[in-house]
């Protein structure tokens, strides 16, 4: 896990080094760079996880021809390495980086289908004078670029590319992008004019002054057939989870897990406990769990995490979140994060900082279960078209929805046909056809079509982006066992009845990990999500900062927000006299995030360079 920066042709050393320094938080173990005359320059900020010796430093070279910078991990590097050794390759390091280089030299871009990992990398071919780039199937690792006939410059974060722009300014469609911030992460669009991202599951060649990108993986066309019987599906998913976790525990540094006590994070913690102590290159120090705590608030899940940790005999560190932070930290986080955030990121950043402070450099986390297996309450209703005309099946879907929120009065007293008609008008029409531009065939079931859009087009890509930032701000690597491509393919090869069953969502996932966890955790229906009690914070420790900010000249002259309207919204929330809902407070905070973004990157074109100097 690292930060990468490259340019073809090479750019001046002083400018390149300054840009590379903006990625220092991603690679606190040090920078490295290499130049091929005026043809190319490659830079790397390293976070040493596998083979932390200097032998595995980057940029790395192979066969006198291929030169690599790589962000991520190849989890099956041992298996791929043995195959390559049988083909005549030999290795000087114990790293996955060298295996990746050898795999490319052997199979070219065909190596991607043999890799199980998360990655964004670039390989400069010094003979052909071409660059090959690739991003992992799910887009866990970022890849941004500037590409035209005269240059190709690429990096792990957008801020590293800003020094190469004539002017830093928002994209022409900035207002549309931030209006629905979940809608653009799965595309090539960026908030900055002149920058693009390489979409997930894509690779490409830069040659003859042009980047030619293409998709190399389809989660439907490449999927293996899932068992038809539900019990066999449960066993298959359990085996996949354990194997995925085993590979993601490969590290030469301490590892841990972020635990909330919810089904997904508990499933990962359970698989870690089942796998720990056995397997090749598994970290010897793996018994580390962390939970963010918001004492005396409804958002606190520490008690649930405590129960899971005690059951699995894994020590738990409770990270009590203190929102009393300085203005400098809030604004520096906005610069580090680069995007407009929906919620305050302080608790997420603090959690991974606590890991780093305890020497834990890798966290296996439980993201993606809701998107793959139908964990969101609104997702449940998308199964109604699949259930009909079987009224019994449709009632089971509605009963599952009602059990999550038994106080919900929305459908009380309505007949089933009236409920279906209401949902068709208000909800189902919004998701038909939703999703990214992926090769056909698409899922045919309504629920899986909806989850497909969440997984590849909207929610999950945004969460992956966010957690990459949260963790890498602190020099911590996040690995996600549920995003093993075999599990993703499995999730869209099983029918809706395997996801909503016996009154529960995510049924096949719950049943797969049931032997490892307490029953009340496996069958826990309440879902809070990992978000701070933002109303309490805005009315409490953040209130002075917010009121001082809206009185500042930089706020009053901001151009991407309506200063007067936002100031009124902030006063309403902080005074307690305005809307008291979490949604209303989050809406105000999101608008405030737009102001923070503008101040960090556009404020008289001075804030960003100052932050860059601080990063260096």
| pLDDT range class, residue 607, cuts 50, 70, 90 | very low
Name which of 193, 200, 208 is nearest 152 in CA terms. Answer: 208
Question: 128 Cβ partners below 8 Å, 6+ apart?
Answer: 207
Please report, rounded to a whole number, the percentage of residues in the chain having pLDDT higher than 70. Answer: 89
d(Cα 23, Cα 18) in Å, to the nearest integer?
Answer: 10
Q: How many CA atoms lie within 13 A of 52 on its CB side?
A: 14
Instruction: Annotate 58-75 with DSSP letters as a single string.
Output: SSEEETTTEEEEEEEEET
Instruction: Annotate 196-262 with DSSP letters as a single string.
Output: EEPPTTEEEEEETTEEEEEE---TTTTPPPPPSSHHHHHHHHHHHHHHHHHHHTB-SS-EEEE--SS
Instruction: Annotate 560-581 with DSSP letters as a single string.
Output: SS-HHHHHHHHHHHHHT-S--S
> 530-552 pLDDT, tens per residue?
567 788 889 999 999 999 999 99
Strand partners, 8: 152
| Mean pLDDT in residue range 575-596 | 85
> 277-336 pLDDT, tens per residue?
778 999 999 999 999 988 766 566 789 999 999 999 999 999 998 888 777 889 999 999
pLDDT at 431 over 50: no
pLDDT at 579 over 70: no
d(Cα 101, Cα 249) in Å, to the nearest integer?
Answer: 22
Please report, rounded to a whole number, the percentage of residues in the chain having pLDDT higher than 90. Answer: 75
Question: 587 Cβ partners below 8 Å, 6+ apart?
Answer: 569
Q: What is the pLDDT of residue 612?
A: 36
Average pLDDT over all residues of the chain: 90
Domains, the chain: 2-215 (3.60.20.10), 223-320+360-529 (3.40.50), 534-615 (no CATH)
pLDDT at 594 over 90: yes
d(Cα 207, Cα 326) in Å, to the nearest integer?
Answer: 47
Other beta carbons less than 10 A from residue 416's beta carbon: 14
User: pTM of the predicted model, to two decimals?
Assistant: 0.92
d(Cα 117, Cα 99) in Å, to the nearest integer?
Answer: 12
Q: How far is CA 60 from CA 82, 104, 366, 457, 566, in A?
A: 20, 13, 32, 34, 49
> 437-488 pLDDT, tens per residue?
555 456 789 999 999 999 999 999 999 999 999 999 999 999 999 999 999 9
Instruction: State both tokens at 137.
Output: 């199937």
Q: What is the DSSP letter of 439?
A: P
pLDDT at 525 over 90: no
Judge whether 49 and 97 are in contact, CB under 8 Å: no
For 112-126, 514-528, 542-556, 601-615, which range has the lowest pLDDT when averaged over its residues? Answer: 601-615
Judge whether 544 and 331 are in contact, CB under 8 Å: no
Q: What is the pLDDT of residue 130?
A: 97
d(Cα 75, Cα 324) in Å, to the nearest integer?
Answer: 39
| pLDDT range class, residue 388, cuts 50, 70, 90 | confident
| pLDDT range class, residue 356, cuts 50, 70, 90 | very high
Q: What is the pLDDT of residue 342?
A: 79
pLDDT at 413 over 70: no
> 62-71 pLDDT, tens per residue?
999 999 999 9
Q: What is the pLDDT of residue 180?
A: 87
């Amino acid at each position: 896990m690292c930060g990468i920066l490259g340019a073809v042709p090479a750019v001046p050393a002083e400018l390149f080094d300054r840009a590379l320094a903006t990625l220092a938080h991603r690679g606190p173990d040090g920078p490295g760079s290499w130049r091929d005359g005026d043809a190319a320059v490659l830079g790397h900020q390293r976070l040493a996880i596998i083979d932390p010796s200097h032998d595995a430093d980057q940029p790395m070279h192979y066969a006198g021809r291929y030169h690599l910078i790589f962000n991520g991990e190849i989890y099956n590097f041992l298996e791929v390495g043995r195959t390559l050794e049988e083909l005549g390759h030999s290795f000087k390091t114990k790293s996955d980086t060298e295996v990746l280089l050898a795999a490319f030299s052997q199979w070219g871009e065909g190596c991607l289908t043999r890799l199980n990992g998360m990655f964004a990398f670039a390989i400069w071919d010094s003979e052909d004078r071409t660059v090959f780039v690739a991003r992992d199937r799910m887009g866990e690792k970022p890849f941004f670029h500037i590409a035209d006939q005269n240059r190709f410059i690429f990096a792990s974060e957008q801020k590293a590319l800003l020094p190469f722009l004539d002017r830093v300014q928002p994209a022409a469609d900035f207002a549309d992008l931030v209006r629905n911030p979940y809608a653009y992460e799965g595309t090539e669009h960026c908030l900055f004019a002149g920058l693009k991202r390489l979409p997930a599951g894509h690779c490409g060649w830069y040659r003859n002054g042009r980047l030619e990108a293409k998709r190399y993986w389809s989660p439907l066309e490449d999927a293996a057939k899932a068992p038809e019987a539900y019990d066999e599906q449960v066993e298959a998913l359990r085996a996949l989870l354990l194997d995925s976790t085993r590979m993601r525990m490969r590290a030469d540094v301490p590892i841990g897990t972020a635990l909330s006590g919810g089904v997904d994070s508990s499933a990962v913690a359970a698989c870690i406990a089942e796998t720990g102590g056995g397997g090749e290159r598994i970290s010897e120090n793996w018994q580390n769990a962390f939970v963010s705590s918001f004492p005396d608030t409804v958002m606190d899940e520490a008690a649930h995490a405590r129960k899971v940790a005690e059951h699995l005999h894994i020590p738990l560190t409770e990270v009590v979140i203190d929102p009393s932070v300085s203005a400098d930290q809030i604004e520096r986080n906005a610069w580090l994060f680069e995007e407009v955030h929906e919620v305050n990121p302080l608790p997420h950043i603090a959690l991974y900082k606590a890991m780093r402070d305890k020497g834990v450099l890798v966290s296996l986390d439980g993201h993606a279960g809701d998107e793959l297996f139908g964990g969101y309450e609104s997702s449940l209703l998308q199964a109604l078209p699949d259930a009909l005309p079987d009224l019994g099946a449709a009632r089971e879907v509605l009963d599952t929805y009602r059990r999550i929120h038994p106080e919900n009065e929305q459908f009380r007293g309505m007949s089933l046909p009236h409920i279906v008609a209401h949902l068709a008008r208000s909800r189902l029409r919004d998701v038909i056809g939703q999703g990214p531009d992926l090769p056909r065939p698409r899922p045919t079931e309504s629920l899986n079509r909806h989850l497909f859009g969440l997984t590849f087009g909207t929610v999950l890509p945004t969460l992956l982006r966010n957690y990459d930032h949260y963790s890498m701000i602190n020099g911590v690597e996040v690995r996600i066992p549920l995003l093993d491509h075999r599990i993703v393919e499995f999730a869209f090869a099983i029918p809706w009845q395997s996801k909503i069953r016996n009154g529960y969502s995510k049924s096949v996932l719950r049943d797969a990990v049931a032997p490892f966890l307490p029953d009340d955790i496996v069958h826990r229906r309440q879902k809070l999500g990992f978000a701070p009690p933002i109303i309490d914070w805005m009315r409490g420790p953040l209130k002075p900062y917010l009121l001082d900010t809206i009185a500042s000249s930089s706020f009053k002259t901001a151009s991407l927000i309506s200063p007067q309207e936002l100031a009124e919204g902030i006063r309403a929330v902080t005074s307690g006299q305005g809307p008291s809902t979490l949604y209303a407070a989050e809406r105000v905070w999101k608008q405030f995030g737009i102001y923070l973004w503008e101040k960090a990157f556009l404020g008289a074109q001075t804030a960003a360079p100052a932050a860059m100097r601080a990063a260096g």
